[in-house]
Structure 1
């Protein structure tokens, strides 16, 4: 027990913190001979389990049979590693869907590893199928290369310090450490809290080497920060700041070109891009398609405002859509709004020449208790939304508390949209993922337990939902306690179909037996 106390204490400290509260060229930043040391991982230790695991069901339901779902093709962005391995949302379309078949629930094997008080919210997979993670803790962010089977760290590199002097809550701070992308040459491109984009090579032996760093400080306001980065299909690196600066970086010349969204519009999520040159981003007021001119200047191709509501809902990081735009086929792009009494899934026609872009406004989730701060999942001819209403951080899901139920599938037809099903599963903050290879939607759930012996316990489950029917197929306990909270991190499927979930204390791997 002594060996796990630091992890538990650290997780408690995280929870306590939540309660408390012009055009230019990029200047290359030389890599110093002496860099910040990595935050040492706790090699070999699992995420600590508790005796209370014995008081809740370990597995419910039954194994599934594969029922693959056909999905419109997603063109491979040549500047990203293969789809399913390159970003938090799987591909340039931000589909959150995998072609590979994930766990079916057959004699599930669960393995975990603790990395201290760090969460690897975004992970990718290199050409050797190793995990490449961007992991954040109280002190800042770092890249990690992790063995995909043992979950032991292979190498680490500190990328960005966190400025705690600003009073920013580390649990809601997404500046310079949430998103990155991996290219086909095993090179990662994370943003930093120091307003830079780094180029980090994952070598054949798994070591991380910082090759280059571009400073964007001259193009980003002193009180602003980098949120997201993504390459378009021509290889430009686009970047987006919280206060609405949109920029492109030519990594050969270092040239930076920027555009400013209207005053008051913020960006708090990632972005999507397609093969026609469009870059799609949602601000707290509108959905945008931007394109770059021949010399790289970002321009607004179209802008669609939406109902951003009258309040910041518990479960959102900003007053507005909580989604990364999700693309489907060669026609659709979808987000959610922030309307009341019901939030809506909004589906737009992104084709060139369309004058009436809003295809449908589909109400979903509970009245006055529905929102999401996670990307919609594209599966077949549908978008799936997860309800995060009521999640305000780790303290809102302790002592048996949980959030508002609800996942819903919205079908898109030529003449409109309709809700195919609504699930009562409760997924406080996970980025759900679809396995097109087997027809299952994976969510990270925390049910409201009714057994008098367990209703004050905090049990976290890896849950599989039938995409076609919305019925829960099975749920497997990961553990009880705050250390199993995944706090807005995504679910991932590796190239071999293994599932991974990051938590406040480490990483979980789930496979069929």
Structure 2
């Protein structure tokens, strides 16, 4: 395949452009306040083919900002456990206030869609109905999104692009039904599965597979694909920007693509340091990041991801549109040197959480052995801000995040679950819901969760609902705070 040649600019020109962008940003309510350190900024323009902003994708929006405009639960909020018999990495809320969960059943490992009512009382009243789908790869039943009709969009193990709707049944209850939009089996080889998908602003559904195939499906069901170089895998989801760009991180490089004449083409490729092996606490040999669009002007000028360098990982920030590196900076310097989570990005600020040493019960086929095989779970959460001359670390917290952290613009807190126990993780470890002050890195509040291993959030993403509750997927179901 051929790649579009990147336009080179001088370092001084990049610095001048960055300084101008940050100066302009300081004229409005975006970026980090230089006195208080509070984090604010614009989210990118809403994608018209997605559900509500903040609740329609695992990472909040098409650009994977991991930022929500909604406030999280108040300190001391009650905790409710929904025992679903499944691990639930994807929790999404539609415009009707119902939550659609994409989970993997413990028995049989089949992906299963659950419809939940977060306003319902009690541990069982929240599960309205469920629908089992065809099993695929370990990461094949993880990524999905809600479209603008509150339908769950995903690719099942038979490589069918499905839209799963929910509606009232004749008896007054709820029912889930799946409609096939396209059969991808002719485009995706046997043994390969979709690991990420996102709509662009034209309504195309973009997808990426574990074996390095990137494609799109248009409204008429036409499928077009492009293959990344041999040996490159895709182990995380993908992101989209309003200018038509789609960002994909492989186990070797970050790409930005776009549709040209109805087919995907690569705009640029930027290699990163992938290290000498997969690290403990990661699911692939390479970056663990879903690439994050962010910026102080439009909310999508830049892309962020974390590399996989052996001794010290770095946050990389690149310019969308050109792939030029804006800056890089060491992160997680006091914690574990590795991250499987998408960075949080908003305004001029990026937050990176360590997963180094996290005891995943399974890894995808072909991930390779971890080196070392195990490691202490020290944790760590780093905030980095863009500056007129590059980027700089603002604070480094020792929090041992056990989930994908989310930033609330409404309350200024980074919300996550914290693992409680010795550095060598054990099945007896406990978990707390914590809120970290985005300005200072200090823990504002902590709420213990009941139980131990049954509540392991397994580095999955939480959902903040419009009703002010936080729903967190665990290895056995869902925990609700609030």
Q: Shorter-chain TM-score: which interval?
A: 0.7 to 0.9
In structure 1, what is the equivalent of residue 79 of structure 2? 110
In structure 2, what is the equivalent of residue 197 of structure 1? 161
1:301 aligns with 2:272: no
Indicate if the aligned counterparts of 1:119 and 1:504 stay in contact, CA closer than 8 A.
yes
In structure 2, what is the equivalent of residue 238 of structure 1? 206
Question: Cα offset for 1:392?
Answer: 2.9
Indicate if the aligned counterparts of 1:341 and 1:368 stay in contact, CA closer than 8 A.
no
Indicate if the aligned counterparts of 2:335 and 2:380 stay in contact, CA closer than 8 A.
no
Q: Residue 464 of structure 1 is aligned with which of 409, 412, 435?
A: 435
In structure 2, what is the equivalent of residue 347 of structure 1? 317
* 1:173-322 paired onto structure 2 within 5 Å: 173-175=138-140, 177-203=141-167, 206-252=174-220, 254-294=221-261, 296-322=262-288
In structure 1, what is the equivalent of residue 389 of structure 2? 415
In structure 1, what is the equivalent of residue 71 of structure 2? 101
Q: TM-score, normalised by structure 1?
A: 0.78
Question: Cα offset for 1:402?
Answer: 6.4
Give the whole-Å Cα distance in 2 for the aligned partners of 1:490 and 1:456.
21
Give the whole-Å Cα distance in 2 for the aligned partners of 1:183 and 1:137.
24
In structure 1, what is the equivalent of residue 367 of structure 2? none
Q: Residue 455 of structure 2 is aligned with which of 472, 479, 484?
A: 484
In structure 1, what is the equivalent of residue 328 of structure 2? 361
1:437 aligns with 2:407: no
Give the whole-Å Cα distance in 1 for the aligned partners of 2:355 and 2:300.
29
Question: Cα offset for 1:331?
Answer: 1.4
In structure 2, what is the equivalent of residue 374 of structure 1? 341
Give the whole-Å Cα distance in 2 for the aligned partners of 1:340 and 1:317.
15
Give the whole-Å Cα distance in 2 for the aligned partners of 1:478 and 1:433.
18
Q: TM-score, normalised by structure 2?
A: 0.83
Give the whole-Å Cα distance in 2 for the aligned partners of 1:232 and 1:456.
41
In structure 2, what is the equivalent of residue 143 of structure 1? 113
Give the whole-Å Cα distance in 2 for the aligned partners of 1:395 and 1:136.
13
Give the whole-Å Cα distance in 2 for the aligned partners of 1:426 and 1:437.
24
Which structure 1 residue ranges, 5 or more long, are not aligned?
1-66, 163-167
Q: Which runs of 4+ in 1 moved over 3 A?
A: 366-369
Deviations 1:196-251 (A, max 9, x none): 11122122564212222422111112221111111110001111100111111123
Indicate if the aligned counterparts of 2:275 and 2:286 stay in contact, CA closer than 8 A.
yes
In structure 1, what is the equivalent of residue 7 of structure 2? none
Give the whole-Å Cα distance in 2 for the aligned partners of 1:367 and 1:149.
40
Give the whole-Å Cα distance in 2 for the aligned partners of 1:242 and 1:143.
22
Give the whole-Å Cα distance in 2 for the aligned partners of 1:419 and 1:103.
28
Question: Cα offset for 1:378?
Answer: 1.6
In structure 1, what is the equivalent of residue 15 of structure 2? none
1:92 aligns with 2:62: yes
Give the whole-Å Cα distance in 2 for the aligned partners of 1:101 and 1:113.
22
Q: Secondary structure at the match of 2:478?
A: strand
Indicate if the aligned counterparts of 2:89 and 2:460 stay in contact, CA closer than 8 A.
yes
Q: Which moved more, 1:372-381 or 1:341-350?
A: 372-381
Q: Secondary structure at the match of 1:218?
A: coil
Q: Secondary structure at the match of 2:196?
A: strand
In structure 1, what is the equivalent of residue 29 of structure 2? none
Give the whole-Å Cα distance in 2 for the aligned partners of 1:471 and 1:153.
35
Q: Residue 50 of structure 2 is aligned with which of 76, 80, 91?
A: 80
Indicate if the aligned counterparts of 2:66 and 2:343 stay in contact, CA closer than 8 A.
yes
Give the whole-Å Cα distance in 2 for the aligned partners of 1:424 and 1:344.
17
Evaluate the alpha carbon distance shift between residue 273 and residue 395 of structure 1 in structure 2; reply closer, same or farther with a 3 A threshold. Answer: closer
Q: Secondary structure at the match of 1:460?
A: strand
In structure 2, what is the equivalent of residue 159 of structure 1? 133
Give the whole-Å Cα distance in 2 for the aligned partners of 1:268 and 1:456.
26
Indicate if the aligned counterparts of 1:68 and 1:437 stay in contact, CA closer than 8 A.
no
Deviations 1:379-422 (A, max 9, x none): 442110110000132599xxxx9612211001112320111001
In structure 2, what is the equivalent of residue 21 of structure 1? none
Question: Cα offset for 1:368?
Answer: 9.2
Evaluate the alpha carbon distance shift between residue 394 and residue 317 of structure 1 in structure 2; reply closer, same or farther with a 3 A threshold. Answer: closer
Give the whole-Å Cα distance in 1 for the aligned partners of 2:338 and 2:238.
19
Give the whole-Å Cα distance in 2 for the aligned partners of 1:447 and 1:502.
17
* 1:391-402 paired onto structure 2 within 5 Å: 391-394=358-361
CA RMSD of aligned residues (A): 2.3
Indicate if the aligned counterparts of 1:132 and 1:146 stay in contact, CA closer than 8 A.
yes
Q: Which moved more, 1:313-322 or 1:193-202?
A: 193-202
Which structure 2 residue ranges, 5 or more long, are not aligned?
1-36, 364-374
Q: Secondary structure at the match of 1:160?
A: coil
Deviations 1:268-288 (A, max 9, x none): 101110110000010001111
